[in-house]
Amino acid sequence: MSSQTLPTGLLSPWSAWGKYNQIAFAIQQFISKVQTATLVKIVSCTNDGDLSPVGYVNVVPLVNQLDQDGNSIPHVTIYNVPYLRVQGGANAIILDPQAGDIGVAVFASRDISKVKSTQAQANPGSARQYDFSDGLYLGGMLNGVPSQYIQFTDEGITIVSPDTITLRATTIAIEGSVTISEGLTVTEDVMAGASGISLESHTHTSEAVGTPTSPPIP
């Protein structure tokens, strides 16, 4: 009779029949309290793409709970869940989660609240284990088609933005040929090659007597 099952954690008529079924039911009760990983939806994020330390998200688990009659009970919001940022030292890719994103959350085996508050090694904040309160958001899954992205293919790398792409550095070095399919606007002067000839202020030499010169004509 032990092969007949109800939703995990619910007492069946055969759960009390014999030691095996009694032990199996007790084990199921304990396992049902263990949180491992699940899909969640982002409710909000403390960051919105600005330059700031990695923050937290509020999430709602998407797989509903069930009562003894099989009725669904939606989960409540889980607050202050640390989210993953690809970062090494002072180098990072800033891509903060947004409300409505779907992604995977995992749950720590021990209370991580003290590590969250101190960002240092610490003892567990309590005796809880595998609890919803100790979630970590790892990133997006099951989301739609992006409109802004970096795409890696066998043919190369494509960077697409519906707005502006900004490169900011002391020096930007480009190795290889450059093809510009649209107009190019430069806010500062352009120096050509090793000669350092200025595009903005170079002069033209005439073959006439005295070799007069003239600057570029706007």
Calpha distance 67→72 (Å, rounded): 7
User: Is the model's pLDDT at 207 over the cut of 70?
Assistant: no
> Residue 173 is which amino acid?
A
User: Is the model's pLDDT at 42 over the cut of 60?
Assistant: yes
Tell me the pTM. 0.77
**Contact in structure between 95 and 148 (CB atoms under 8 Å):** no
Residue pointed to by tokens 């510009």: 180
Calpha distance 194→180 (Å, rounded): 22
Q: Which residue has the higher pLDDT, 9 or 24?
A: 24
Output the CA–CA distances (angstroms, integers) from residue 4 to 9, 12, 21, 72, in the order listed.
13, 9, 11, 22
Using left for φ > 0, alpha for ψ between -120 and 50, and beta otherwise, residue 33 falls in alpha
> Residue 174 is which amino acid?
I
45 bridge partner residues: 57
Calpha distance 4→27 (Å, rounded): 16
User: Is the model's pLDDT at 122 over the cut of 80?
Assistant: yes
Helix (H) or strand (E) holding 38: strand 37-45
CATH 2.40.50.230 residue spans of the chain? 35-140
Q: In this structure, what token pair is assigned to residue 205?
A: 């030499």
Calpha distance 8→57 (Å, rounded): 29
> Residue 157 is which amino acid?
I
Using left for φ > 0, alpha for ψ between -120 and 50, and beta otherwise, residue 100 falls in left
Q: What percent of the chain clears pLDDT 90, i.e. is strictly above it?
A: 60
- CATH level 3 topology of 35-140: OB fold (Dihydrolipoamide Acetyltransferase, E2P) (2.40.50)
Q: Which residue has the higher pLDDT, 198 or 167?
A: 167
First and final C-alpha spacing in the chain:
92
DSSP state of 75: P
> What's the pLDDT score for residue 31?
83
**Contact in structure between 22 and 15 (CB atoms under 8 Å):** yes
Confidence of residue 67 (pLDDT cuts 50, 70, 90): confident
> What's the pLDDT score for residue 91?
96
Helix (H) or strand (E) holding 71: none
Rg (CA), the chain: 30
Confidence of residue 199 (pLDDT cuts 50, 70, 90): confident
